[in-house]
Amino acid sequence: MVSIIECLQLNACPNPVVLSLQIGVYRGHFRMDQHGHNLNRYYTSPDSILQPTIYAAKSLLDYYAKMNTLVMYLDMHAHASKRGCFIYGNVLDQVEDQIQNQLFCKLISMNTAHFDYEGCLFSKEHMVRIDPGDQAKGLTAEGSGRVNTYLAYGLIHSYTLECNYNTSRIGNEIAPPEQEIGGTNITQPSSFTTNPEKYTPSVYAGVGRACVIAMLDIRGHNPCSRIPKSKMKTLDRVRNAVVMEVRNRKEYIGKAIQSREREKRKSLTSTAGANGGSSKFNTGVCPPTQSEEFVWKRVIDEFSTSPSTSMPGSAGAPHNGSTGGLGPTTAPLSQQGKHMYSILSLCCSCCLA
């Protein structure tokens, strides 16, 4: 979590929302707060007295959704049993939205050896499950931050990032960036392995950086992308691999990809033309003089500018319409951060850094 915050706050960006949910393990609870409540089941209708942190989180989500600046929800958890760093994601109504949903996760795995894309779970059943102890209270996973944020706002990119305490199941093959770059926090190229290293704080930090870099890769705006030197070579090929995977899911068999997704893909070229016609920028080729610090500067440019109006006073405010994914846009780079990318909502129930 700390590495993500540092990336987004290099230029004192005020927009990331960081929430620490107090757990009650000190009093003998598991996954509960001091009142014995599983806080990650109360996002539907939180109580300002009994679940004040969730109430505050929901108020912020309502506010930024109304401002049309909510583009991602990333809930960070520690995981005691399943090995690796992976994501619990949602199953969306539209096949083209699901492609964007899973594409982001695939791109994370191309930027860190320690994120297990095959270990990610996108399941309808997981979205409505009832955990032991919750049935008597009438609570389901639909009240979790990840699921409720999707259901309430139509947010494509709503995830729970789970990280094991010990090690990964595998280590991904990581390609080098297109050009040699400087900087002190660079993920080194690596080969696939079934015997990955044990987790350290720097490993967790690398996973966090990969989440931020994937936001740039999915928009085609990463000047130091690893995609060109990977086996996939282009973002379109990565996306096509995800398309085949999504089409084989039982929820989408027989469904066609809508034309609006094809229009999104066309706008990648339009963005290149709007910025001097450089096709290299959109395919992720790094100019010879760029450094990793430039990537973090680009993150700030893309995700900066916060609304100046006041915060809402209550949670659960109604929201009309849905928010889209991290797809490419046709606005000039200098303006894009002012349109959509002003908030990354991070919710952490266990400190991983």
Sort residue 74 into left (φ over 0), alpha (ψ -120 to 50) or beta: beta
Tokens for 21, please give them: 């949910």
Burial call 87-111: b when 16+ CB within 10 Å, e when fewer: bbbbbbebbbbbbbbbbbbbbbbbb
Which residue of the set 162, 178, 292, 302 is catalytic?
162
The upper half-sphere exposure of residue 45, i.e. CA atoms within 13 Å in the direction of its Cβ, equals 3
Burial call 268-285: b when 16+ CB within 10 Å, e when fewer: beebbebeeeeeebbbbb
* Collapsed DSSP state (helix, strand, coil) of residue 167: strand
Element (H, E) at 79: strand 73-79
Residue 178 and residue 233: Cα distance in Å, rounded? 10
162 is catalytic: yes
Residue 330 and residue 190: Cα distance in Å, rounded? 35
Residue 64 burial (C-beta neighbours within 10 Å; 0-12, 13-18, 19+)? buried
Closest alpha carbon to 278 in 232, 333, 320: 333
Evaluate whether 146 touches 90 at the Cβ level (below 8 Å). yes
Residue 35 and residue 54: Cα distance in Å, rounded? 14
Tokens for 289, please give them: 């003089």
Residue 253 and residue 246: Cα distance in Å, rounded? 9
User: How far is Cα of residue 260 from the mean position of the Cα atoms in its chain?
Assistant: 22
Residues designated as active site: 162
